[in-house]
Amino acid sequence: MGCCEQAHLADAAELPFPDDSFDCIVAFMSLQDVERLDDAVSEAARVLEPGGTLCIAIVHPMNSAGEFEGDDADSPFTIAGSYLEPSYYADALERDGYSLEIVSVHRPLQMYTAALTKAGLLIEELRETRLPDHAVTTDRMRRWRRVPLFLYLRATKPA
């Protein structure tokens, strides 16, 4: 059985795969939760084959740096601390009687792009997304039409 046909539990900064194992790697909503960003991106680059693609989706750094002052659609979005300095933040979630707290790291955009270039990857695309109309189901959600929720990056390993 090859490395792609089974699940593996591993530290993102120490992947259990040989060099050049994958033609595409997707890091979906995970890199804002890793402690060692540079090591995790370097490991992704190591196991990516030449010409391969790394696709990243993260909480937009602007989103993790600030918050809305209220629930209405025109509520101001405020960054009270520093956008440029890393910091920790927590999101508390509750659903169906279960509670979960997710602790993440706010990092400015330049820390993500620096990790990619330091790992020898070439950034091909960077997209800041707007909440699509069909996802706006409450007035409270309408405020996310003004501030990006997520950031998508695509990078390649040179052939």
What domains, with CATH codes, occur in the chain? 22-69+79-156 (3.40.50.150)
Compare 147 and 119 and report the one with higher pLDDT: 119
Q: What is the CA radius of gyration of the chain?
A: 17
Residue 130, pLDDT above cutoff 90: no
pLDDT score of 4: 60
* Half-sphere exposure (Cβ direction) of 20: Cα atoms closer than 13 Å: 5
Measured CA to CA in angstroms, residue 29 lies from 26, 34, 52 at distances of: 10, 10, 20
- pLDDT tens by residue, 31-69: 999 999 999 999 999 999 999 999 999 999 999 999 999
